[in-house]
């Protein structure tokens, strides 16, 4: 196949191994792709500070962060907001979600800090710079996303409870947890402003580079990656992907713990 002009990849569960590390093999493959003239984009729900911790300017050209709410330039360290979740809407979402899912716990990503109420106990790898605050302070400023920790281990089921009430006022997705049987992860829903997605942010980035969707390869494992995989000319699911992701595209690469994206790039450039 001809070389793509852009490769966009999710991080957790896709490019990173299950211990949240970037393998030497994968880093070498990213650099080889860039040396071949391919632009490399990290597209993640994570904030820019995680990009800074994982990558150098030799590894990637740009990063989509907060599920598409922002864009980060690893060369300059600049974080550019695409669309924020405004305080009034954050407060409205919290009230409505608490009404429909009593006992839910809330947190927000400001782009620079992670603020959470005491009941929000989930701590993902890599990001330990977290600040407990009263719930009222979560809606005190514009944020990239609202995170909701709900009972059980199936975020899809929680979303079905909320869909009819909030789907017209915010975008909802999730990346941790693959269903009711997946008890290794909590059920966490992530809400952003209407129009925010990895696909929309990637489309905007590629338009600025003069790159068409058919010139893009994308990789992902979770529901928040589906829009990006469908937008790209070639969307690849890692073998360990969520069932909805595996159903969304026929294209596969090996799982994240087998450096599937790196294996694809090595074959492509071989």
At residue 186, the pLDDT reads 77
Asked whether the predicted pLDDT for residue 14 surpasses 70, the reply is: yes
For the residues 69-84, what does the mean pLDDT come to? 96
At residue 123, the pLDDT reads 81
The predicted model scores a pTM of 0.94
Query: What is the rounded CA–CA span in Å between residue 181 and residue 115?
Result: 29
Please state, for a pLDDT cut of 70, what percent of the chain lies above it: 96
Q: What domains lie within the chain, and their CATH numbers?
A: 6-82+196-269 (3.40.50.1000), 87-192 (3.30.1240.10)
Distance of CA 192 to the CA centre of its chain: 12
- Average pLDDT over the chain reads 94
Query: What is the rounded CA–CA span in Å between residue 236 and residue 244?
Result: 13
Asked whether the predicted pLDDT for residue 242 surpasses 60, the reply is: yes
Ranges of beta strands (E only) in the chain are 6-9, 39-43, 62-65, 70-73, 78-81, 105-109, 114-116, 130-132, 145-150, 171-173, 187-192, 216-220, 234-238, 251-253
At residue 23, the pLDDT reads 98
At residue 222, the pLDDT reads 95
At 152-165, the pLDDT tens digits run: 878 999 999 999 99
At residue 152, the pLDDT reads 84
253 three-class SS: strand
Q: Is 205 exposed, middle or buried (0-12, 13-18, 19+ CB in 10 A)?
A: buried
Q: Which residues contact 34 (CB under 8 A, 6 or more apart)?
A: 40, 58, 59, 60, 61
Query: What is the rounded CA–CA span in Å between residue 14 and residue 228?
Result: 13
Asked whether the predicted pLDDT for residue 49 surpasses 50, the reply is: yes
At 162-179, the pLDDT tens digits run: 999 999 999 999 986 443
At residue 125, the pLDDT reads 79
Q: Using 50, 70 and 90 to split pLDDT, how confident is the model at 126?
A: confident
Q: Using 50, 70 and 90 to split pLDDT, how confident is the model at 182?
A: very low
Q: Using 50, 70 and 90 to split pLDDT, how confident is the model at 61?
A: very high
């Amino acid at each position: 196949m001809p070389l793509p002009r852009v490769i966009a990849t999710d991080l957790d569960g896709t490019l990173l191994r299950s211990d949240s590390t970037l393998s030497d093999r994968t880093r070498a493959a990213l650099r080889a792709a860039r040396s071949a003239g391919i632009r490399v984009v990290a597209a993640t729900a994570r904030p820019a500070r995680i990009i800074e911790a994982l990558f150098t300017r030799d590894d990637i050209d740009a990063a989509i962060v907060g599920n598409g709410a922002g864009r980060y330039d690893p060369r300059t360290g600049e974080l550019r907001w695409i669309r924020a979740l405004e305080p009034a809407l954050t407060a409205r979402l919290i009230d409505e979600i608490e009404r429909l899912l009593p006992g839910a716990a809330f947190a927000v990503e400001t782009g620079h800090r992670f603020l959470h109420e005491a009941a929000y106990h989930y701590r993902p790898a890599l990001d330990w710079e977290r600040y407990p605050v009263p719930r009222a302070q979560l809606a005190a400023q514009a944020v990239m996303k609202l995170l909701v920790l709900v009972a059980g281990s199936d975020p899809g089921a929680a979303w079905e409870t909320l869909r009819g009430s909030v789907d017209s006022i915010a975008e909802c997705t999730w990346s941790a947890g693959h269903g009711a049987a997946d008890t290794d992860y909590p059920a966490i829903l992530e809400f952003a402003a209407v129009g925010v997605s990895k696909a929309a942010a990637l489309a905007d980035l590629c338009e600025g580079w003069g790159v068409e969707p058919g010139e893009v390869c994308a990789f992902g494992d979770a529901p928040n990656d589906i829009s990006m995989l469908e937008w790209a000319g070639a969307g690849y699911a890692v073998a360990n992907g969520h069932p909805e992701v595996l159903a969304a595209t026929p294209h596969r690469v090996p799982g994240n713990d087998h450096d599937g994206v790196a294996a694809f790039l090595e074959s492509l450039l071989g």
